Amino acid sequence: LVLFDRTMASSSSSASVSSASAGSSSHVGAVQLEGLAMLKIVKHCKESLPDLVTGQLLGLDVDSRLEVTNCFPFPNREDDENSEDTGAEYQLEMMRCMREVNVDNNTVGWYQSAYLGSYVNESMVETQFNYQQNLKKSVVIVFDPVLSTDSHLSLKAFRLTDQFMTLFSGRKFTAEALKEAQVDFSKIFEEVPIEVHNAHLCRALLFELESEQYLGAQVEPNLDLPATSVLEKNLEFLIEYGDHLSADHSKLQYHQRALHRQRVQQSRWVQQRKAENALRRRDGKPELSEVPDPNQFEKVSPASYLKPMLNTNQLNTYCEQVKDFVGESTTKLYLMQSLSS
């Protein structure tokens, strides 16, 4: 998975022109996606299968809407030393060229292709966090070329919730931190609805394409029964993530036990000291302190709840996908039954 890290996000923000409504709230009601940007995203992600790719979104933010008017893909990062520099260079150069032809060159987010819904992982969250820190209203658009069929585009826009942002900035994921921020797995992302927008000239083009000459451009609506391979793959992922979750669970249990052991040790040590002090009092010797020295015992680092939370979220996503799939298949099955009778 291609990852552009903090240097990327900060350099993009310095290159972009700050938008007029910088002081307004950071709530994004809807994402308005230009047809051009959508087709470009679809094309790039589909053509790069089976690799997963990313790219940058450009546009404007207007009130509570985020308009995405253009986008460009990121090249695959080679593993050389100056890959970070070349990446930043690429981005700056691209933005400059865009500006010359009057394309909005404000970064408004990034997009990523996903494989059958597996997009929730630490790098993605981290990248989105960096983007959202620098530009209050950025989104990540996830396009799933595997799950998309002729009749349905699996294109979703996400942002991290404000609660999760505060939690993530603290970089501590202990249980107390989670409770304080009131974040559970369902509140990591918020989905932003996408609306497709076309300039009028483009709509003229679309009408033109429907005319006789370009019959090849017609797309037949597809009522095929969806392949069971989708379901199988989803189930495989479900099982895999169930395994991850149980591994995390056992890790947490281990941590609990270690904590408990340490406490038992501490209390035993305090007991011993008390007994010793009682003896010393009897003998008239000076008493030793009863407060345990924290450095004496091996540290048990607090468990991080981030990974289990992300895993849970991913698991939930898979379940939702299965649910959608089930709904659609039953519809099509019943349709077939009624057709044949």
Q: Which residues within the stretch 270-309 sit at the binding site for another protein (CB under 8 A)?
A: none
* List 10, 64, 149, 266, residue binding another protein (CB under 8 A): 149
DSSP 19: P
Q: Are 208 and 218 in contact (CB under 8 A)?
A: no
| 171 contributes a contact to another protein by CB under 8 A | no
Q: Which of 70, 8, 63 is nearest to 39 (CA)?
A: 70
Structure-token match 């199988």, residue found = 232
Residue 129 to residue 159: CA distance in whole angstroms: 9
Least distance to another protein, CB of residue 202, Å: 5
Count CB-CB contacts under 10 A for residue 81.
6
Min separation Cβ 97 and another protein, Å: 5
- Shortest separation between residue 34's beta carbon and another protein, angstroms: 8
- Contact with another protein (CB under 8 A) among 236, 271, 274, 327: 327
Instruction: Name which of 11 and 70 has its Cβ closer to another protein.
Output: 70
Q: What part of residues 205-224 is at the interface with another protein (CB under 8 A)?
A: 205-211, 214, 216-217, 219, 221-223
* Binding residue (CB under 8 A) for another protein from 102, 229, 289, 295: 102
Near another protein by CB under 8 A: residue from 155, 167, 177, 181: 155
**How many residues touch another protein (CB under 8 A)?**
95
Minimum separation from the CB atom of position 62 to another protein (A): 13
> Which residue lies nearer to another protein by CB, 58 or 125?
58
Counting beta carbons within 10 angstroms of the beta carbon of residue 160, is it exposed (0 to 12), middle (13 to 18) or buried (19 or more)?
Answer: buried
Please check whether residue 232 is in contact with residue 318, taking contact to mean a CB–CB distance below 8 angstroms: no
Contact map string, positions 42 to 81, toward another protein, x by CB under 8 A? xxxxxx---------------------xx--xxx------
Rounded distance between C-alpha atoms, residue 72 and residue 65, angstroms: 21
Six-digit token string for 246: 């149980």
Three-class secondary structure assignment of 88-125: HHHHHHHHHHHHHCCCCCCEEEEEEECCCCCCCCHHHH
Residue with Cβ nearer another protein (223 or 275): 223
